[in-house]
A and B are shown apart, each in its own frame.
Chain A
Amino acid sequence: MAEVRFSVPKQSSAGGADNAVPSVKMLLEDVSVFYGTFRALAGVNMPVYEHHITAIIGPSGCGKSTLIRTLNRMNDTVDGARVEGRVLLDGEDIYAPDVDPAIVRRRVGMVFQKPNPFPKSIFENVAFGIWLYNKRISRSELSDRVEIALKRAALWDEVKDKLKQLGTSLSGGQQQRLCIARAIAVEPEVLLMDEPASALDPISTMKIEELMLDLKRDYTIVIVTHNMQQAARVSDYTAMMMMRPDRAGELIEFDRTEIIFTNPKDKRTADYVSGRFG
């Protein structure tokens, strides 16, 4: 593997001739997020590389979740939230005035910290998103696509005989994989995962991690995690965030994961990943 530039590329380099530098799927340009007058995120510049896993790490309250929710406009649902700067998806600003947030979220799916299946059947959980964007879909095609999504999420074998059961009746790990199936059923390009395994036991966590490694062939994945080992195990790139004295979160270092964990430029990163604080 060749060295990757530490500095953030200013322009999308998608389709670049350099094989070693993957194309940029999403790009944050000087992104600040405000909740009312409180600045939660200050001037973040960061790329998200296509078909790679980018981990966001950092101590509690440093704005990791705010950052990841900025990538698919989930922060729109928070009263008084405001985003400055540009968030580009394939070179297009998703916060441009004429952009429909529903379409952004369809292209940039999300899995949340706590498994949150709909209180409906397993089938309906996965089918809802598919149906939203193709309301004339035939029953058999819908079934096929639900099956594909569930297989992709490595859940099919466990639930194929009980698709009519409530999604909420599954175990925590299965629920989270159901949520992943639901997210990938609409065929997004980017998959955001906000601490997807923090509520799960080690075996379920391991399954989710294996799944992520498998999914990265088709999707671009961004994951927030508190678990250093997890970031080290699954991610290709790591963004290290910290809270400034004014409590705004900032990105202090972004690099290939092995560099962040073995030879970080910033001392605070070194302290954090080695467990000396945070």
Chain B
Amino acid sequence: MARSITEPTPQDFSAVELRGDASVRRRQVIARTGRGVLFFSLVLGLVALLTLFLNVFDKLGGYAVYAFKIDPLTITPSRPLEELSREELLALIEKHVPEDAKALIPEEYGAPLEELSNEDLVNILYNDTPSPETLTAKPLEALTREELIEVLQRNVTGTRFEQLQAERPLEQRTREELIELVEVEVLQRSVVWQWTLFESIFNRDAILAEIASRYPGSDYEFKWWLTPRFIASDQTTRPETTGLRPALLGSLLVVILSILFAVPIGVAAGIYLEEFAGKSRLGAIIQTNIYNLAGVPSIIYGMLGLAVFARALRDFTTGAAFGVPNPPPNGRTIITASLTMALLILPLIIVNTQEAIRAVPQALRDAALAVGATKWETVWHHVLPVAAPGILTGTILATARALGETAPLIVVGAAAYVTMDPQGIFSSYTVLPIQIYTWTKLPEQIFTRVASAAVVVLLVTVLAINLTAIILRNRLRKQI
């Protein structure tokens, strides 16, 4: 063997300096620049995320100015002026009739005040006070509990009254709660203006000054929209009283049902494809299609659901075939939504199951086969237990996807205004994202605050689900 290449001598090595080589310096500059670009991308992403969160949180609360749409005195019990005694009438005139009007009385009625008949006194009150009907009304704060309940009964519409009774019977509420209820429900105490959270925190003095000048004497407070009451209440038409419960329960039902439909089928299909199907042309085509299905725009699943579940299978999805009374029109039921959502997450679950199974080392299969196990026994006893954490994680992530998905449900008909909880799988329904969308669309500006509160609920739920997935995965992995 002839050596054609001369071996490097010690001099060759020492000729390379430790610093100052131009080409190496240039490579290091490229390395630093590359690192800078990567870091910048990270910062940009984080800033975008932070902005999103701040934007949502900014609307969650802040100083709010209230006004009653209805004068409180018009709804509290009062006595007709005709029934009052002479002394009471005189006292009222003394208190409520302006001085200049009082000076004109002798001229108008041809006698001084003290000599006029009761009838004339009543007339004076009717003519010279701005709201004569409310002169004898008791202020709200002076009412007893019984009187407050009576006011509510008289002025709140039937269905709303039932809703309130269902939340907690009025008889069990304290007097302060009843007053609050009257203010909100009857007097329609509404937010006329609200500052954002950050304005309220950083500009407090200016806001208080503005309230004093623009809304003198108004009721104001620091109002949060995300309250336990908001989450637990029925939906109403007013931002102050509306709640999230129907949408929350609707989402919960739809997601649980779609998981029940999609997980068994998806996991089974994934196991078959990965462990039993083998390699064939047909298998490759099916595989490609499943990957593609996982990326199909969700609205298309909505169209499919509309055509198949809402229209073609209407008798089944409305429960009409099972004799359910009063089915919602057009198959707009929980079951339609669940089936559509199940179709949407099915490819995700299949692909995820396949990936989880593929991650199981071949050595494990070999081990089971080598002691004489059949393919089924190998998969059932050894592959699946190891793949289970991965399958579970993917399922939970699919749940989060189903929870946040909106487009297909618009198509298959989630209702925009559902005041009551879903009554079963054949009930009409709404879900969180649709509810948020509906609220942001309403002309009343203050509903965007309500929508923000709902957004936070949805975000927290989705984050909690994802967190569960991560914790479960880590814990199950540790066991293996």
Contact = CB atoms under 8 A, between A and B. Distances in A.
Interface of A: 72, 74, 77, 79-80, 102-103, 105-106, 109-110, 112, 114, 116-120, 128-129, 132-133, 168, 179, 182-183, 185-186
A74 B371 CA distance: 11
B366 A74 contact: yes
Interface residues of B, number: 22
A106 B372 CA distance: 4
B381 A119 contact: no
Contacts of A120: 385
25 contacts: A74-B369, A77-B365, A79-B278, A79-B279, A80-B279, A102-B372, A109-B370, A110-B366, A112-B366, A112-B367, A116-B361, A116-B363, A116-B364, A116-B367, A118-B367, A118-B368, A118-B382, A119-B364, A119-B385, A119-B386, A120-B385, A128-B371, A168-B480, A182-B367, A186-B371
Nearest to B480: A119
Given A112-B366, A114-B363, A128-B381, 15 more contacts: A74-B366, A77-B369, A79-B278, A79-B279, A102-B369, A105-B370, A105-B372, A110-B370, A116-B367, A118-B367, A119-B386, A129-B373, A132-B373, A133-B372, A186-B372
Nearest to A125: B367
B370 A72 contact: yes
Contacts of B371: 105-106, 109, 128-129, 132, 182-183, 185-186
B373 A102 contact: yes
Interface string B377-388: 100011001100
Contacts, number: 67
Closest 10 CB pairs of A and B: A106-B372, A129-B371, A116-B363, A110-B370, A119-B480, A116-B367, A79-B279, A105-B372, A102-B372, A102-B374
Nearest to A69: B366
Interface string B444-480: 0000000000000000000000000000000000001
B119 to A, nearest CB: 99
Nearest to A72: B370
A118 B364 contact: yes
Nearest to B374: A102
Interface in B349-370: 361-370
Given A79-B279, A116-B364, A132 B372 contact: yes
Nearest to B363: A116
Nearest to A100: B374
A168 B382 CA distance: 14
B364 A103 contact: no
Nearest to B361: A116
A110 B385 CA distance: 23
Nearest to A192: B370
